Amino acid sequence: MTPAPGGQTVKIVITGGGTGGHVFPGIALAQELGARPGVEILYVGKNTGPERQWVTDRGLPFEGIQASGFPRGLTLRLFTFWIDLLRGFSQAAALLDRFRPQVVFSTGGYVSVPVSVAASLRGVPVLLFEPNVTPGLAARLLAFFARRVFTGFEKTSRTFARRKAVWTGIPVRREILEAQREPSLKGFGLDGDKVTLLLLGGSQGAHTLNQMMTGAIRVLNDGADPLQVLMMTGRSDYQWALDETGQCALKVVLRPFFADIERAYAAADLVVARAGAITCAELLARGLPAILVPYPHASGHQEANARALEEAGAAQVLMEGDLQKGVLAGRIHELVAHPERLRAMGQKARENYKADASAAIARNVMELAQQQQRKSA
């Protein structure tokens, strides 16, 4: 490893897990920091979480700790939660003592709590990132321990102490930004002269959403629109969706999961998706107009994210109740039939994307890490 300016290696722990919203911003930051000389990164996530594969697939070192989310209601999980928390805290403390980072960067979520608290108790500064418009419980707790809080949306910064909060936008992975349209269309066997509708059902299976999406495909099947469809079904609904759309005259390409979601975005002209913070950021980064369907059981986080994009003119919002009334197909038709609306929404998306999010956070991380080095020299 090439030494950092000043001759010492800068060590940074990135922590967060459970969902892509708590992992992918950390990966994006790791990609930005990894391009700098003399930076050593360790990603700490849940030992049994999906983040292990997401992180190691990108060549980043990973360590897992025991963790579980705070249970809702009086169940056996209330007992096991405290066991997991204590074990996770002990494991996190041991990792920190061994790795000896200058900074811990936390993307929130329950996995990051023991790591961040253990770091703070050791005098290691914690930097927190909150991607959602409405901060979650873990983020509100960790804000007390954090030296600085970076936010994905401008209005979110107002919910934290003014001296701590910095609106940076959401870091987006390099592969999302760099994917090219033509090879992506070719890879899916799609036509460059048609409007590509990307439907993102739940990665773990979201049968209700998939039902509404396949129903919309059948309604749009009359051929009135120059349309083709690319859809993620989740593994459990893949065969069912194949059967449902198998007789369609429209070109419909189904995948149970997009390991290479960047190619799906690059091929798309209009997206129908949930409204997780990372999905919203990726849509803005690609300049993609969207119809957002917030997950109704996300404590209002997704609706707040979706409304922020709607207010910016980059998306339209439909609730699940609207889908049950058959509104989705009509909304898609209206946008496809008026390409100027799609272009205007795409332009608004591009205007609201903060392209320097990764670099801005990385600068803050490096400045603080180098300050810590000088103190300990």
Domain with CATH 3.40.50.2000 in the chain: 10-170+355-376, 178-351
Q: Domain 178-351: which topology?
A: Rossmann fold (3.40.50)
Per-residue confidence (pLDDT) for residue 326, from 0 to 100: 76
Helix (H, G, I), strand (E, B) or coil at 127: strand
Q: What angle do CA 349, 350, 355 make, to 5 degrees?
A: 120
Q: pTM of the entire structure?
A: 0.89
pLDDT at 96: 97
First and final CA of the chain: distance in angstroms? 20
- Nearest Cα neighbor of 347 from 270, 289, 293, 276 is 289
pLDDT of residue 103: 97
Region 10-170+355-376: CATH code: 3.40.50.2000
Distance CA 168, CA 158 (A): 13
pLDDT at 138: 84
Question: Concatenated DSSP letters for 177-190?
Answer: HH--HHHHHHHHT-
What pLDDT does residue 3 have?
A: 52
Report pLDDT for 376.
79
pLDDT along the chain (377 residues), means of 10: 63 89 90 91 93 92 88 69 90 97 92 94 96 88 94 91 93 94 96 94 70 88 84 90 89 90 97 93 97 83 94 94 83 93 96 93 94 83
pLDDT score at 363: 95
Report how far residue 114's alpha carbon sits from residue 283's, in angstroms, rounded to the nearest whole number: 32
